[in-house]
Amino acid sequence: MNRRVFFLNGLAILCVVCGHAASWAEIAMFWWADTYRNVPAPNFDQMGSPSHWILVVVMQLTIFSVPAFLFASGCFVAYAGRGSSSGLSWKVVRVRLTNLLIPYVIWSVVLFFVDFLDGNVYSPVEYLTRFATGKADGYGVYFYVPLICQFYLLSPLIVRLARTRGRLLLVGTAIIQLSLVVISYLGFYDLLSPLLQLVRQFTPAWVCLHWVFYFALGVYCSFQMAAVKRWLERYKWILLAYVVILAVLVVFEPQAIIRSTGNERGHSPFLLSANLYSVALVLCLMAFDLPGQALNKLFRQAAGKTYGIYLLHSKILEFVARSIRYFTPQIIAISPLFLCILILLGASIPWLFMDAVARSPAKKLHRYLFG
């Protein structure tokens, strides 16, 4: 099962790149339309076209990536705490937080400096807020870092509960997460009471309550590995059927919400279909045998570079997208080609850069730069 968790991690980081690449391709399709067509921008006449639906499908089907990361992190945390009768030690938590935060601080400072060169200067409070909420890149892509740090701080408690009250932990975290899903739906239709509006205001995407079930599920599955394996083997084909059905729902539900409410937040990862799809897909990937040797090797290698790719890919995608817009805007007109170029360069440039650092005289800096 541990090999499958590594595979899941590698698949998830490549899907993160795919999802964010599709977002840039959508921006180009609508907001940069004047660079390759004689139309004013933004222009939305390609909304609902086959090319646009390709982008929607990619963005929605890759929405499981953060849940997959959290599930894998929960598995690794449980593994680290399995050898001690007292549970997960704070030393393990401290080491893991250090490995996360040092690269995060370095690349956040780099992004702040790039922003400064671009003429964007913020107050000290805003710099601190952007750093604390994962918005150093300007888009909030780094939100996963403060999110996973919260889970590592909570992990001694979660590990203890998973050992002694495992099923109660799963039920409790599921109720918490689903309660926030209900609040999301009420928000789409402007049905929130003042109290619920306050709850929503203080639970943005980087707050762990939105994602707590996935981490708890990973911890529980790691502790109950034998029983979970038997359950997965028994129900794997049913899980696969659920994944197919939920994949359709996760693509079309946001479109239905956007059309009925006009609220673009309908693309939220906190819809019921997104939650159910993510859980079903993660468990399905744990249930089936790994793919062919070459593909398995690719994903396992990607798993070893997950954090570096995550930290670097966002600005690389932006740089590549804007460069293509400036130098070869005709490529944007062929949206699937533009998407493929973004995915290829968004994943390969960080990968090659990490390998180059590992082979250079600066190889001792690799762990500080990429974790």
Among candidates 111, 184, 176, 178, which has minimal Cα distance to 141?
Answer: 111
State the alpha helices, DSSP H only, in 33-64.
50-61
Q: How many CA atoms lie within 13 A of 255 on its CB side?
A: 14
Contacts of the segment 106-109: beta carbons below 8 A, 24+ positions apart: 106/368, 106/369, 107/136, 107/311, 107/312, 107/369, 108/136, 108/142
Least confident of 51-65, 165-179, 278-292, 343-357: 278-292
**How far apart, in whole angstroms, are the C-alpha atoms of residue 314 and residue 16?**
10
DSSP sequence for 147-184: HHHHHHHHHHHHHHHHHHSHHHHHHHHHHHHHHHHHHH
Hey, how many other C-beta atoms are within 10 angstroms of the C-beta on 371?
A: 19
Least confident of 9-18, 45-54, 79-88, 174-183: 79-88
Residue 264 token pair = 């673009």
pLDDT over 90 for what percent of the chain?
Answer: 72
Average pLDDT over residues 1-12: 87
Whether residue 86 is predicted with pLDDT greater than 70 in this model: the reply is: no
Q: Rounded to whole angstroms, what are the CA distances from 220 to 24, 85, 210, 211, 230?
A: 37, 16, 18, 15, 14
Whether residue 254 is predicted with pLDDT greater than 60 in this model: the reply is: yes
Query: What's the pLDDT tens digit per position in 180-222?
Result: 999 989 988 888 888 888 888 888 888 999 999 999 999 999 9
DSSP assigned state of 207 = S
Contact 315, 346 (CB under 8 A): no
The mean predicted confidence, pLDDT, of the chain is 92
**How far apart, in whole angstroms, are the C-alpha atoms of residue 69 and residue 144?**
9
**How far apart, in whole angstroms, are the C-alpha atoms of residue 120 and residue 350?**
25
**How far apart, in whole angstroms, are the C-alpha atoms of residue 161 and residue 258?**
39
Q: What is the pLDDT of residue 85?
A: 58
Residue 193 gets the label, from left (phi > 0), alpha (psi -120 to 50) or beta, of beta
Q: What is the pLDDT of residue 255?
A: 87
Q: What is the pLDDT of residue 296?
A: 77
Query: What's the pLDDT tens digit per position in 22-42?
Result: 999 999 999 999 998 889 989
Q: What is the pLDDT of residue 200?
A: 86
